[in-house]
A and B are shown apart, each in its own frame.
Chain A
Amino acid sequence: MFSDCIDSNPSDKRDTRSGFGAALLQLGKRDDRVVALSADLTGSLKMEAFAEAFPRRFFQVGIAEAHMMGLAAGLAIGGKIPFTGTFANFSTGRVYDQIRQSIAYSGKNVKICASHAGLTLGEDGATHQILEDIGLMKMLPGMVVVNPCDYNQTLAATLSIAAYEGPCYLRFGRPKVPVYTDAQADFKIGKGILLKEGSDVTIAATGHLVWESILAVRELEAQGISCELINIHTIKPLDEYIILQSVQKTGCLVSAEEHNYLGGLGESLAGVLARHFPVPQAFVAVHDSFGESGTPEQLMKKYEIDRSAVMEKARRVLERK
């Protein structure tokens, strides 16, 4: 059984960050508690429309991310729903202790929104290509971690985290990627989405790797390998049920993500398997290294987080069943 997005070849390509920007504007119109903070990356985060429409509720903090996180916590104390916007690197590693103490431990309703995550920001290189952010954020008690896959899902996820009471980390990216999820689809935090049923191998992907996995599944199916494909847009809380249901049928798992294998989705899934139903698992992820300059396509190929890598890992994990 193929769902629509497995079959389709969408001509529309958009960046996930634009989905965030569009949702932020919608939120601004519908709820005056929504405020936005930018650390001198308003354009990169696609927050200009919000800033123009709601100047009093937009806080330009300059290149001062640590201060921005505290400011957001303070605004949350005053009943606001703050959305912080900067690159993923500066949204997490640079400000980890501020998030830990002033937001997570303090239970503040702050939405940490992070663009340019992973290798696919491309030419800027490893200083900006954080591959550790999912791990950093998922380790914080009470933190929700969401990594949507395309424009529509990022838009829906942004609306969804606004309605959720508590700290959230929303991770999205820079490049334009196919728009293939249904714009009307319901987004539920913590609920994986079964994109295709299959019987030989389960592929659980997040973020930009969902599309790469769709491309891989098409080829694997043509080669006679029956794949079950799941979009895990929420790394925490993790939909353990959908994974266990699937691997009980297929007997093996490939996890796919634009992140270090240490600390990422794959590691969380390995924990689920170890605790409940051990089966072989292969990791499509960056293997404990920094990135480098290059185009997104070149980087995904070199660091083995593209369609070919998903196919290769699927074949290998099947041999271990």
Chain B
Amino acid sequence: MRSVEEMRMLVTQTRRDILRMVHAANSGHPGGSLGTTEFFIALYHAVLQYDPAHFTMDGKGEDLFFLSNGHISPVYYSTLARAGYFPIAELSSFRQIDSRLQGHPTTHEGLPGIRISSGSLGQGMSVAIGAAQAKKLNEDPQLVYSLHGDGELDEGQNWEAILYAAGKGVDNYIATIDYNGRQIDGDTDAVMPLGNLRAKFEAFGWIVWDEPDGNDLNCNIQTLKNAKRSTGQGKPIAILLHTEMGHGVDFMMGTHAWHGKAPDDAQLASALAQNPETRLSDY
């Protein structure tokens, strides 16, 4: 596990990676990426057990992570590269022709660290649950984690999966919902109100951890550890992670406008100035 100071630097560097990647590609999704940066750094540097130097598809003996809302690929790619799965120099190939860093994550180009393609929303929870059940069959005590957008919960397949995971007692699985309250067309309350999400998960039979400060690194670490401690009790676990879309860049916060839009040169300069480079360096 890295020191908190190092993790804080990683958060900053990852934000810079996200902004620079999306700017260079002139496309991509900075909003959700910036909003979940603390979660990714906490997960990959304080919680997950994995071996980036020897990536295997089945990940036996390792914890697994699945990204369901694949459009936040910038934060995922940056995290994987900086965790040692592939060189950070490769981040410059994001969304370019002949790249392993496709617009949405895929196994198709063989990028280490990725075990499923995602982008078409609502599919990742089923996959993660399948991987968790395979771990049980394999008598592998490691855990499976996943991340989902809150807007993504509009997709019905999630609710099939939520029903199933509780009904079948999949208790080696922790699903985190990026609860930022925004989706492409606007606030989730305006587009498709989610109602009382905690009550919904609990009614389905899940253990729920609410984390009101999803953009605080320590809170992420603590909540993930709490969630991990509540595994093995016959119930799946959900973390409702309240985040701010576009966190860390003042003009990207408080709006859904930066869900899937690239900054121009001046906006990039302003955004990077708010997140100064650390000794871990840019790619």
Contact = CB atoms under 8 A, between A and B. Distances in A.
Instruction: Give the secondary structure class of A's interface.
Output: helix
B157 A77 contact: no
B235 interface: no
Q: In the complex, which of the residues B124, B137, B156 has the most CB atoms of chain A within 10 Å of its own CB atom? A: B137
Interface size range of chain A in the complex: 20 to 34
B106 A71 contact: no
Given A62-B163, A73-B127, A74-B129, A98 B134 contact: no
Contacts of A56: 137
Interface residues of B, number: 37
A74 B133 contact: yes
B157 A66 contact: yes
Interface in B115-150: 115-120, 123-135, 137-138
Interface stretch (A15-23, A99-107, A184-192): A99-107
Given A98-B123, A101-B118, A101-B123, A70 B106 contact: no
A57 interface: yes
16 contacts: A62-B163, A69-B126, A70-B124, A70-B127, A71-B161, A73-B130, A77-B58, A78-B133, A79-B134, A82-B130, A100-B120, A101-B119, A102-B117, A105-B106, A106-B107, A107-B107
B190 interface: no
Given A67-B164, A77-B57, A105 B108 contact: yes
B156 A78 contact: no
Contacts of B168: 59
A101 B126 CA distance: 13
B160 A74 contact: no
A33 to B, nearest CB: 9
A149 interface: no
Contacts of A106: 106-108, 116-117
Interface in A55-102: 56-57, 59, 61-62, 64, 66-80, 82, 97-98, 100-102
Interface of A: 35, 56-57, 59, 61-62, 64, 66-80, 82, 97-98, 100-102, 105-107
Nearest to A141: B108
Interface in B26-76: 57-60, 64
Nearest to B157: A66
B119 A78 contact: no
Nearest to A59: B133
A92 B125 CA distance: 20
Contact of A77 (B108, B115, B118, B137): B115
A64 B163 contact: yes
A106 B160 CA distance: 21
Given A73-B126, A74-B116, A77-B134, 20 more contacts: A57-B137, A62-B160, A64-B157, A69-B126, A71-B129, A71-B164, A74-B126, A74-B130, A77-B116, A77-B130, A78-B133, A78-B135, A78-B138, A79-B58, A80-B134, A80-B137, A98-B126, A98-B157, A100-B120, A107-B107
Contacts of B157: 64, 66-67, 70, 98
Contacts of B60: 79
A62 B116 contact: no
B117 A64 contact: no
Contacts of B107: 105-107
Given A35-B137, A102-B126, A74 B131 contact: yes
Given A66-B156, A107-B108, A78 B127 contact: no
Given A62-B164, A98-B123, A78 B130 contact: yes
A315 B179 CA distance: 66
A64 B106 contact: no
